[in-house]
A and B are shown apart, each in its own frame.
Chain A
Amino acid sequence: MLKGLWNLTWLETKIFVREPLGVIGTVGVPVLVFVVMGRLVGGRVSAASSTLPPAFSVDVPVLAALLISVSAVLSLVTIISIYREGGILKRLRATPLRPHTILTAHVIVKLAFTAVTLALMALAGRRYFPSTMHVPWLAFTLALLYTTACVMTLGFLIASLVPTARFAQPIGTILLYPMIGLSGLFMPVEALPPALGLLARLLPLRYAVSLLKGILTGDGWLSHAGDIAALALVSAVCIGISSRVFRWE
Chain B
Amino acid sequence: MSAVVSVANIRKAYGSTVAVDEVSFDVEAGEIFGLIGPNGAGKTTTMECVEGLRRPDRGSIVVLGLDPVRDVYALQDRIGVQLQAAQLQKRITVQEAVDLWASLYRRSVDGTRLLEQLGLGEKRRAWFMTLSGGQKQRLFIALALINDPELVFLDELTTGLDPQARRAIWDLVRGIRDRGKTVCLTTHLMEEAERLCDRVAVIDRGRIVDIGAPAALVRRHCPARTIVITTDDAKDDESLRAVAGVVSLTRAGSEVTISGRGEELVSAVIECVSERRIRVRDFRTMMPTLEDVFLTLTGHSVRE
Contacts and interface: CB of A to CB of B under 8 A. Distances in A.
A36 interface: no
Interface string B71-89: 0010011000101011111
Interface string A77-119: 0000001001110110111111000000000000000000000
Interface string B94-114: 001001110111100000000
Given A11-B100, A15-B92, A94 B85 contact: no
A229 to B, nearest CB: 34
Contacts of A7: 99-100, 103-104
B103 A94 contact: no
B53 interface: yes
Given A90-B86, A96-B77, A98-B73, A18 B91 contact: yes
A90 B76 CA distance: 13
Given A15-B92, A94-B53, A86 B100 contact: no
A8 interface: yes
Contacts, number: 58
A25 to B, nearest CB: 16
Given A4-B103, A94-B53, A94-B81, A87 B86 contact: yes
B51 interface: yes
A81 B88 CA distance: 13
Given A7-B100, A7-B103, A95-B101, A88 B89 contact: yes
Given A96-B76, A96-B77, A98-B73, A91 B88 contact: yes
Given A90-B53, A98-B73, A15 B83 contact: no
Contacts of A97: 104
Interface residues of B, number: 25
Best-surrounded residue of B73, B76, B92, B104 (most CB of chain A within 10 A): B104
Contacts of B88: 88, 91
Nearest to B144: A94
Contacts of A98: 73
B109 to A, nearest CB: 15
Nearest to B84: A87
A244 interface: no
Best-surrounded residue of B53, B100, B143 (most CB of chain A within 10 A): B100
Contact of A94 (B76, B87, B92, B127): B76
A34 B143 CA distance: 44
25 contacts: A4-B103, A11-B92, A11-B100, A14-B96, A15-B92, A19-B90, A19-B91, A83-B89, A87-B83, A87-B87, A88-B87, A90-B83, A90-B86, A91-B86, A91-B88, A91-B143, A93-B53, A94-B81, A95-B76, A95-B101, A96-B73, A96-B76, A96-B77, A96-B105, A97-B104
Interface of B: 51, 53, 73, 76-77, 81, 83, 85-92, 96, 99-101, 103-106, 127, 143
Interface of A: 3-4, 7-8, 11-12, 14-15, 18-19, 83, 86-88, 90-91, 93-98
Q: 9 nearest interchain CB pairs?
A: A86-B87, A87-B86, A18-B91, A91-B86, A94-B81, A7-B103, A95-B104, A15-B91, A96-B76
